[in-house]
Amino acid sequence: MTRSMMKEGQPAETHSVLAYPFNSDSEPLLNQELKRSGTHLCPALTDVSIRSVPVAWSHFSASNLQRLVFSEYPLDYQLLMRTLHGILSNSKDTLETLSLKWTIGVEVEWADTRLLLKRLTLPRVKDLDIGYMHAQETCQNFQMFDFPALRSLTLRGLDDYRVDSSVIFIDMIKYLPVEQFDKLILISIVFPLGDFPDHDLVKNGSIAEESLPPLLRLVRRLVLLRNLVLYPSSHVLLKYMNYAKEDSINMAGLKKLSMREETDDPEIGILPFLRERVEIGTVDGEYVVPVMEEMRIGMHLSIGKEYLKVAEHTKWHLRRLPPSRN
């Protein structure tokens, strides 16, 4: 990436993008620029992306941004929620894309912070991307910011730092408009294990909604989801996707599915998911459930052969990804 900055004598309004790569030499210049008021720091600036460069956050004064990306900050330089609240307040009516990847520090006295700060509405944000080490980082974002127009959510965990995401799913249901999501990307997310509730009891409403597992409650609300990306695969999520909901199945309108299957066991993961979906969606020998338009699945060769047999019944098409590492 390159830096796009004001030069002496050059009209400031021509600059709409400011990008800082990982470069320790950038730190003094970055802090110096951020200490200027937002009026003088490229007033036409709409796009800011900063990765790993230490920032004097209290002096970050850019306003009226449309896209903001902060990513990969060491613990000593991570943002506190009250500071992020102030930064986003300056662009609350213009921001459309927000990416916070491994940037937010977990606040021990979070209850006190919530009392001090009013929940901020970001009415135009449609695309949210969060990378986290602790589940609390993500939950604090959901609790502090309202995203009424959100259509696409990306959650990124860490392969080497696996944490249970149950509390994240609970707060997604509570604070986000998941019913209107069009796209959901889940990368390195740990899905909670446990006993699966009985299919028939769920279908006929014998189990109260609040008693269902949080992940199943979330899946049932993704009624407009068209695009799901899942790396790696989760047999828990796939199983919940096939739970009957009245006369249909969850995510019945799903058009695109991308995932990487890490097992060669034909009884776990994508194969039982597809077989069960075919069984549920077949009436009088004909598959009547809407067909997925695109499936991109990384899998072992043996699983791929079995997949093709199932796909013949549904007209699903497989675009091959590189095989998973096993």
pLDDT, residue 163, reads 79
Structural contact between residues 138 and 166, judged by C-beta atoms closer than 8 angstroms? no
Q: How far apart are CA 110 and CA 120, in angstroms?
A: 16
In degrees rounded to 5, what are phi and psi of residue 282?
A: -100, 125
Q: How far apart are CA 22 and CA 6, in angstroms?
A: 20
pLDDT, residue 43, reads 64
Residue 161 has which token pair? 């730092």
pLDDT, residue 62, reads 86
pLDDT, residue 303, reads 75
pLDDT, residue 314, reads 58
In the chain (326 residues long), the average pLDDT of successive 10-residue segments reads 38 48 45 47 79 81 92 85 91 97 78 76 98 90 96 92 87 97 96 83 83 92 96 89 78 90 80 82 73 81 74 54 45
